[in-house]
Amino acid sequence: MCGIIGYVGSQKASHVITEGLKRLEYRGYDSVGIAVRDGNSLNVKKDKGMVEEVSNSLDFVSIGGTIGLGHTRWATHGAVCKANSHPHADCKNSIILAHNGVIENFVELKHELEKKGHKFASETDSEIIAHLLEDGIKSKTMLESFLSSLKRLEGSYAIVAMTSAGEEKLFVARRNSPLVIGVGKGEMLCASDIPAMLKHTKTFVPLEEGDVAVLSRDGYNIYSLEGAEVTRKQITVDWGLDIAQKGGYPHFMLREINDQKHFINESLASDVTEGKKLIDQHSRIDIVAAGTSYHAGLMLSYLLSQTGKSAQAFIASDYSFVAKPNKDTLMVVITQSGETADVLQAMRFADKCKKLAITNTVGSSVTRLADCTILMNSGPEIGVAATKTFTSQLAVIFKLVFPKEKLSNLSQIISQMLEQEDAIKKIAPTLVAKENVFFIARGGNVPIAYEASLKFKEITYIHSEAYPGGELKHGTLSLITNGVPVIVLAPSDATLSKLFGNLKEAKARGGTILSITNDDSIKNESDFSIPLPKNIDPILYPFALIVPLQLLAYHVSVLRGINPDRPRNLAKSVTVE
């Protein structure tokens, strides 16, 4: 949901910011903009479109100056157009800022500012912040005005702002939207995410909720909203610059699918001791997540229920309407970004119960609301569609339930399934022109069918649905006609014989069957089949099943001319409800 970056140092800011925006683009990509201060003038270039296209056509890097800020947008308030693109300025073009988040009371503030004579150039909620600052600096310093303006905002924000006059400083703040300071030598940065700053530093300070900071070439100061100076922990990452690059693959998504064979071991190394204790201590487990992470949540609920625990997975955005957590409830939240607004809202709603978070993001908002956090350690995921973070979530979840030894050959299983890529590439053309695709599975493989279906529709724009196989006959079978693809997740486990029956039902109606199986009778009934290894522990089938289905979605997407890294209308970190 929007990426923001700020730079103050001795290098050409337009260059640093444009490069950083390319790495932040996965957070939003409908418009992009940059502002650089040169002497006492602010130069702004912005338009709708992706970073590469807009930065080339407007020649971002031609702007001189060594302090600036940039923004890549995922529209919330106002259409996708040049005027609504960030950065936004006050009436006099003397204050400029980029904002990520949603200002909930912006209508009221806008009316108030309009009455005072402020003229607005966009329909965005963000622009009001520039005008509030303008109002404030009539009688206050920029920092005082920044603090008093922030106090008036309801909602979420990560902000970077600067002025055209006075000392060259960046004013930054965060509340419910991520913002990290990058500490360089003679230069300071801030950005929504670490990879955008890796070229300049490996030392970072993740800001906490309500923090305000002032960055100059010499360093940074962090304040509370009340203006008291506070100290925050610096962290050092050992990531190479290549972690946020495609590494020779045509897309981040393909790299990330392939990287699963490595990161699965990092995730298996995560410390789940405290998490296990919390689960043991509670009689009821509510699992809360969204999208792909919800599918990982369904898996956890399935595994815990198998052990006799009372566990249920909830869609985060609906949790407050349907659940009644109490003090005996343990809430387990699963979120790779750690910033998903729906999840944060559910955590605030469940104020009486203990919370365990499973996330990929150190210092993210969920970690602050949780009593205990398990870090997935899957490295940054740039492709908008979650792939490696899903298998990492599964690894952590399985480790919460099974002894580690049971999971030791996961990397090998994933490698084996990645070897099926050529076979999958041959199947992909048969799906390219389809309108509907169905996925079926049973038992513990159903969450994988849901996830495969989400991945497929998200990046191919082909409608797809997933069901427990037994459900087809209760309605959906009416949609299975000649040539409709039915993808059957059929490992040889306890689900096989019933699933075989469901496959036959679909086949009898003319469905084209694609199976992923290690069972010969299923394979013989299929039009296409992807082999599963024969000699693996049945509990590990979910890992083997999801990898070829991620690859299938990827290759169909590419064949349809879609960029799988940036599916339309979506963004990586969903910080609005």
**Catalytic positions:** 2, 572
d(CA 524, CA 528): 9
Under the criterion CB under 6 A, does residue 260 sit at the interface with ligand F6R? no
| One residue of 164, 335, 445, 512 binding ligand F6R per CB under 6 A | 335
Q: What's the one-letter identity of residue 395?
A: A
Per CB under 6 A, the list member of 160, 173, 396, 574 interacting with ligand F6R is 574
* 256 binding ligand F6R? (CB under 6 A): no
Q: What 3-state DSSP class applies to 37?
A: strand
Query: Taking CB under 6 A as the criterion, which residues in 284-303 touch ligand F6R?
Result: 290-293
DSSP lists the bridge partners of residue 34 as 45, 70
Reduced to 3 states (helix: H, G, I; strand: E, B; else coil), residue 421 is helix
* 387 or 512: CB nearest ligand F6R: 387
Q: What is the 3-state secondary structure (H, E, C) of 245-275?
A: CCCCCCCHHHHHHHHHHHHHHHHHCCCCHHH
Does 336 bind ligand F6R (CB under 6 A)? Our answer is yes
* N-term to C-term CA, the chain: 11
Residue number, 268 or 571, with CB nearest to ligand F6R = 571
Q: Which of residues 443-482 bind ligand F6R (CB under 6 A)?
A: 454, 458
Minimum CB distance to ligand F6R, residue 310 (Å): 24
Nearer to ligand F6R, 347 or 386 (CB): 386
Of the residues 159, 358, 385, 549, which one makes contact with ligand F6R according to CB under 6 A: 385
* 465 SS3 class: strand
297: number of CA atoms within 13 Å, CB side? 27
Task: Give min distance, CB of 292 to ligand F6R, in A.
Answer: 3
In angstroms, the CA 274 to CA 500 distance is: 41
* Residue 386 touching ligand F6R (CB under 6 A): yes
Angle between helices 410-418 and 541-559 (to 10 degrees): 30
State in angstroms the smallest separation of the CB of 323 from ligand F6R: 18
Q: Which amino acid is at 304?
A: L
Which residues within the stretch 340-359 sit at the binding site for ligand F6R (CB under 6 A)?
340, 343
Residue nearest to ligand F6R (CB): 291
Of the pair 277, 348, the CB lying nearest ligand F6R is at: 348
Q: Helix, strand, or coil here: 215?
A: strand
Output the smallest distance, CB 356 to ligand F6R, in A.
Answer: 15
Contact between 52 and 60 under an 8 Å Cβ cutoff? The reply is: no
Quick one: 70 or 291, whose CB is closer to ligand F6R?
291
Looking at residue 89, what DSSP letter applies?
E
Please report how close the Cβ of residue 573 comes to ligand F6R at its closest, in angstroms: 6
Least CB distance from residue 452 to ligand F6R, whole Å? 11
**Contact track, ligand F6R, 496-535, x by CB under 6 A:** ----------------------------------------
Q: Which residue has the tokens 């080339």?
A: 56
Q: What's the min distance (Å) between Cβ of 252 and ligand F6R?
A: 13
Q: Select 358 or 532, whichever has its Cβ closest to ligand F6R.
A: 358
183 SS3 class: strand
Stretch that binds ligand F6R, among 57-65, 329-337, 372-380, 422-430 (CB under 6 A): 329-337
Nearest of 146, 116, 115, 118 to residue 133 by alpha carbon: 146
Residue 284's alpha-carbon distances to 138, 184, 383, 402, 559, in angstroms, are: 56, 47, 35, 19, 46
The Cα–Cα gap between 491 and 205 comes to 46
Q: If binding is defined by CB under 6 A, does position 495 make contact with ligand F6R?
A: no
Q: Which residues bind ligand F6R (CB under 6 A)?
A: 290-293, 335-337, 340, 343, 385-386, 454, 458, 573-574
